[in-house]
Amino acid sequence: PDSADATNLSRLVQWLSSESDYPMQIVYADSYADLSRILKEKPDSIGWTCGAPFVEDHSQTGQQLVAVPLFKGQPTYHSVIITNKFHSNSKGLVDFKGKVFAYSDPRSNSGYLVPTIELKKIHASPQSFFRMTLNAHSHEGSILYVAQGVADVAAVDEYVLEYIFKRNPELKKKIRILESFGPFPFTPIVTGKAVSPSVLARIQQALTKMQDHHEGRLLLNELDLDGFVVKTPDFYRPIANMLRQVKPPVH
């Protein structure tokens, strides 16, 4: 994250640690695979992950769902297909056969799973359809690749796209939104399997009551979120169904 994002996330962790009486320190993972590894090796940890990794990790390592952020009042978001303003004739993902595609992470729901599902409908895959696929390591990286002309097209998280556009109007001028898919369950707050029910409840209480506290409201405003709600893992069933279409079941 950039310095502003890092400051906001650090403040969120400090506030959540204080409100839930659960000691936390912030650590940044390099990828969703890295985050999954951390939560498995340190199962008393809390993390902000993506819906697709959560579905897999909940099943395989007992990862627990804490809460789901509210974006525009809903616990959902869209996968948005973007291109550079120079691609004026393109209307959607399927118009980029033989082009360069950027994605945030191979386990990202909005960045990789969704476009994979869409290409599957025309009997293609990212590897067979595009000339090259580039792992940008973040949605911001995908947006920059498209803006700079390094990639022709990308699939990105709607929330991240709007967050970046709001803070970088010049970047917005270089990007054209083509289409969106969804809505999908928003990226969840999770814990490893060792976090006790009582601690989990305290963290949930702190998150769902953020808007009732002055500092909590300030943080939500900085993060462009409206709050948090508690959901069961079944809320992520739509993503689980998508994963089953592209991956064999893990036993």
| Span 161-178, average pLDDT | 95
CATH of 3-71+186-237, one of 2.40.30.10, 3.40.190.10, 3.30.460.80, 3.40.50.10470: 3.40.190.10
Whole-number Å distance between alpha carbons of 109 and 146: 19
Residue 89: pLDDT above 90?
no
Whole-number Å distance between alpha carbons of 151 and 169: 20
Provide the pLDDT confidence category of residue 59 given band limits of 50, 70 and 90: very high
**pTM score of the predicted model:** 0.93
Task: Residue 199: name the closest of 53, 68, 9, 44 by CA.
Answer: 44
Residue 250: pLDDT above 60?
no
Provide the pLDDT confidence category of residue 87 given band limits of 50, 70 and 90: confident
Provide the pLDDT confidence category of residue 251 given band limits of 50, 70 and 90: very low
Instruction: Give the CA distances from residue 79 to residues 16, 126, 157, 173, 234, in Å, rounded to whole numbers and listed in that order.
Output: 28, 16, 5, 20, 20
| Span 34-44, average pLDDT | 96
pLDDT recorded at residue 4: 56
Q: Are strands 64-70 and 100-103 parallel, antiparallel or unpaired?
A: unpaired
* 88 vs 237: which has the higher pLDDT: 237
| Span 234-247, average pLDDT | 95
What are the tens digits of pLDDT across the range 65-82? 999 999 999 999 999 999
| Span 47-61, average pLDDT | 96
Residue 145: pLDDT above 80?
yes
| Span 176-199, average pLDDT | 97
Residue 45: pLDDT above 70?
yes
pLDDT recorded at residue 239: 98
Q: How far apart are the first and last CA of the chain?
A: 35
pLDDT recorded at residue 53: 97
Q: Report the mean per-residue pLDDT for the chain.
A: 94
DSSP string for 109-138: IIIIIHHHHHHHTTT--HHHHSSEEEE-SS
The set of residues, in sequence order, having a beta carbon less than 8 Å from that of 48 and lying 6+ positions away, is 187, 188, 189, 190
pLDDT recorded at residue 148: 96
pLDDT recorded at residue 3: 47
Domain extent listing, the chain: 3-71+186-237, 76-185
pLDDT recorded at residue 6: 79
Task: Residue 161: name the closest of 111, 209, 108 by CA.
Answer: 111
Whole-number Å distance between alpha carbons of 214 and 216: 5
Judge whether 3-71+186-237 and 76-185 match in fold: yes
Whole-number Å distance between alpha carbons of 212 and 191: 24
What are the tens digits of pLDDT across the range 92-130? 999 999 999 999 999 999 999 999 999 999 999 999 999
Domain 76-185, architecture per CATH: 3-Layer(aba) Sandwich (3.40)
| Span 27-45, average pLDDT | 95
